[in-house]
Structure 1
Amino acid sequence: GSGSVAGPVEAVVEAVVGPVVRVAVVGLGRVARHVHLPLLAKLDKHFEVTAVCDAQHGYAADVARRMRVPGSGVFTDVRSLFGCGEFDAVLLLTSGSHAALAAEALKRGYPVFCEKPLAHTLDEAALVQQAGDRLMLGYMKQYDPVVTEALGSVDLGAIRHVDVSVLHPPERFPQIDWTPAPASGSASPAEHVGPRVHWEYRAVLDSVCHDLALIRLLDSGVGVDVDAAYSWGARDGESGSLEFSGPLSHGGRYSVRWHYLPDYPEYEERVCVHTEGGTYDLAFGNPYFFGPDSGFERELLAFHSFVTAGTPPLSGVAEGTADIRTGMLVLDALGKSG
């Protein structure tokens, strides 16, 4: 059918008036320290960090000092953290598969914000599904204001083609020294060989997943099918170029071109939505350089609404599982192409 999708996007980013959500942050690496922790400090009317956990005690102690987390809320072991109970929700910001930690948190009754990827295999994803569905995936581009504005005008039934292009140099993080705000008031090949063997599979789960999330918004579905895929240019243990494409449910098509470019000056991403009446051109730069009202900030507000009001997130366990299937379909198509 036709119609825009702005309504659902706007609904999940509205900051509801409700209690401050106490959060435990698991994984305190670069993304946590450059993105999520500064935003949690900024959003102190909505969140309070009451526990932090990282295998490196120095990371946990430093973050605890900055976020004014008491010593009793500092952990280097997740099992001990989950036994603490001094928080309402969990942010999983570790690298790699999040399946085991997500399943454990869900079994203990905690809502979970989970960075990508949800898992590396369908079996792992099934374990998360069995543990519960109160999980939101951190696909921040879904919440980007540029996306919200464009989706308010797109006629889904008139989409002819969604064209995605990603130029991905090595990750470069901003050099920032953040200070928290003052305290206020108190049987696919992938199933057998594993994801580490194929860089194409990792590219889908670690990067292209954000674009798959946008394609889902435009296609009003969960799964993204694949009928052709090619890869080239990989060398010296590095990723190369990946291209894959497939049908949209309403008759259009999508294509994704993802290039790892070791010497490229800066990250670039463009999503062009070609409709019968015009083209919507969405451009994204380095996601770690962002201003106010960013996709990162809006997704945290959506998580607050999820925890306090039960507002469904745009991506959860089902969508994370669908991305694994898409990655497998990419590998299958690559096998058929040569």
Structure 2
Amino acid sequence: MSADSSARERVRLAVIGLGAISQSVHLPLIRRNADLVELTAVVDLSASRARQIAEASGTGVIAFDSIEAMIAAVAAGELRVDGAVLATSGSHAPDVARLIDAGIRVLAEKPLAFSVADIDALREVAAARKVDLADWVRVGYMKEHDPASAAAKSLLEGVEVRAVSVEVLHPADGAQLAFANLQAAPTDVPADLVSSLVAATDATVAAAIGPVPAPLPKLYTNVVLGSIVHDIGLLRHLVGGIGTVDRARHWGHEFPGSLSLGGHLAERTEVPWSIDWHFIPRYPQYRETVTFHHETGTIALTFAVPYVLNAPTVLTVIENAEPLGARRSETRWMQEEAFEQELRSFAALAAGHPEPGPSVDEGAADIVVGQRMLRTLADAIGSPIGASTEAGASEGRPVAVPPHHDHL
């Protein structure tokens, strides 16, 4: 943030969706950055969970059991909200549209949506309000705010990349969250409300990918756009993104199993990329490694479990050490946290001083790549996706991002 940020009035934030990511990351970081941000509202389908977290967060924090109730309080002048951290399940774009229409800027967790149609509807709301979404919305790609990613991006600009590979080893969520002392799952959310939300998500997904057999819909929502989208976004940020998806394979007895994907980059079209994603419930710890081989060495990023704050990403650089030698270095940023940098950047946005970062155009481009992945996977298992669906037409959709959305 700029040097004069300390002189600004604190930004008033709402946290919407009080599950694992909010309890382990967003709420602690808001408390840790009390010089910049102030929590004024929490929203959850569980009224009891919202109330308990509001009470634990100190005086002046109001609990709501719906976004609509919070927006009504803002409209009535009972509450001020400058920005909202949106960490609900399902497609985020419809709620982003509601919040923008209420004059509230948004940091939306990934994925921004499950369909391009939801993005188009969001853009229509922005056009009606005459606002630039790049100044109102950020997508929660925290890896773009990681100092290791920034250093890797700088290094990659000066080399000729030969190949890109990603490996993700993903244990069960419980193994990643045991430390967080999360609240027990709530029991007061009406069953009919849950059913209606699930049905709405299923309808959105069906419209985007068509009537494909299991497990393709859940692989699309839970894996491709639920986890691999982070890698889609990171490759977009670092090397211009994924272009073609030429191969895909799924295996494993315990859902979601393993996915292996590959193709060529969007801008460096001769360069191959690969992503190997493995759900291994009893693997000791989460690990994600992103490797770039180039003409004179290797640049690699190793990410730790994202829920643990200040677990540093390791940047490894292997390079020539003439004559006839090699040099290997590892760098860690112990005092910088990617989620925290993301929050501070969003605070600037919510205060009306936007900094570069991933917004709706980036989120939309990543959804298109995710749909290409699913289409290639569907072809591989002999259940092709219909050409009339979004995923079926994804090859013709752009994945490039306008240059004014240059990243951090």
Instruction: State the TM bucket, normalised to the shorter chain.
Output: 0.7 to 0.9
Q: Does 1:26 align with 2:69?
A: no
Aligned residues of 2:216 and 2:374 also touching (Cα < 8 A): no
Counterpart residue number, 1:258: 277
Shift in CA distance, 138/13, structure 1 to aligned 2, threshold 3 Å = farther
**Whole-Å separation in 2 of the counterparts to 1:57 and 1:32:** 16
Matched, 1:278 2:297: yes
Shift of 1:88: 0.9
Indicate yes or no: 2:368 matched with 1:325: yes
Deviations 1:228-255 (A, max 9, x none): 232232435x112112222221242221
- Find the partner of 1:130 among 119, 124, 138: 124
Shift of 1:131: 2.3
| SS of residue matched to 1:153 | helix
2:286 corresponds to: 267
Q: Is the 8 A contact 2:261 2:274 kept in 1?
A: yes
TM-aligned CA deviation for residue 157 of structure 1: 5.5
Structure-2 separation of matches of 1:159 and 1:14: 36
The answer to whether the 8 A contact 2:243-2:264 is kept is: yes
2-structure distance, mates of 1:208, 1:102: 22
- Distance in 1, matches of 2:5 and 2:163, equals 36
Q: For residues 25 and 352 of structure 2, what CA distance do their matches in structure 1 show? A: 24
* In 2, Cα distance between equivalents of 1:108 and 1:79: 10
- Output the amino acid matched with 1:167: L
1:233-252 equivalences under 5 Å are 233-235=251-253, 238-248=255-265, 249-250=267-268, 251-252=270-271
Q: Corresponding residue for 1:149?
A: 151
Normalised TM-score (structure 2) = 0.71
Query: Aligned match of 2:306 in 263, 283, 287?
Result: 287
Cα distance change on mapping 1:245 and 1:275 into 2, 3 Å: same
Identity, % of aligned positions:
31
Q: Is the contact made by 1:231 and 1:240 (CA closer than 8 Å) also made in structure 2?
A: no
Report deviation, 1:199: 3.5
Cα gap change, 1:201 to 1:45, in 2 (>3 Å): same
Distance change (3 Å), C-alpha of 1:29 and 1:14: farther
Q: Are the counterparts in 1 of residues 247 and 263 from structure 2 also a CA contact under 8 Å?
A: no
**2: CA distance, partners of 1:127 / 1:280:** 39
Q: Judging changes above 3 Å, is the alpha-carbon distance between structure 1 residues 34 and 128 closer, same or farther for their aligned structure 2 residues?
A: same
Instruction: Determine the structure 2 residue equivalent to 1:207.
Output: 227
Any idea what SS the aligned residue of 1:147 has?
Answer: helix
**CA distances 1:12-59 after superposition (whole Å, capped 9, x unpaired):** 798834221101111111210111000000000110011111111221
Tell which structure's C-alpha radius of gyration is larger: 2
Q: Equivalences for 1:99-248 in 2 at 5 Å? A: 99-132=93-126, 133=133, 134-155=136-157, 158-171=160-173, 172-176=176-180, 190-193=208-211, 197-202=216-221, 203-220=223-240, 224-235=242-253, 238-248=255-265
1:49 correspondence with 2:39: yes
Compared with structure 1, are the counterparts of its residues 189 and 89 closer, same or farther at alpha carbon in structure 2 (3 Å cutoff)?
Answer: closer
What secondary structure does 2:68 align onto?
A: helix
**Structure 2: tracts of 5 or more residues without a match:** 75-79, 127-132, 183-205, 311-334, 382-408
Contact 1:99–1:125 (CA under 8 A) maintained in structure 2: yes
Change in 2 beyond 3 A, CA 1:270/1:13? farther
SS at match of 1:225: strand
Gaps of 5+ in 1: 1-11, 179-187
2:195 corresponds to: none
Q: 1:23 is aligned with what amino acid?
A: L
Does the 8 A contact of 2:229 with 2:370 survive in 1? no
Aligned Cα RMSD in Å? Answer: 2.4
Question: Which one-letter code corresponds to 2:250 in the other structure?
Answer: W
Contact 2:84 2:105 in 1 (8 A): yes
| TM-score where L is the length of structure 1 | 0.85
Larger relative contact order (CA 8 Å, sep ≥ 6): 1
The letter of the residue matching 2:262 is S
How many residue pairs align between the two structures?
A: 314
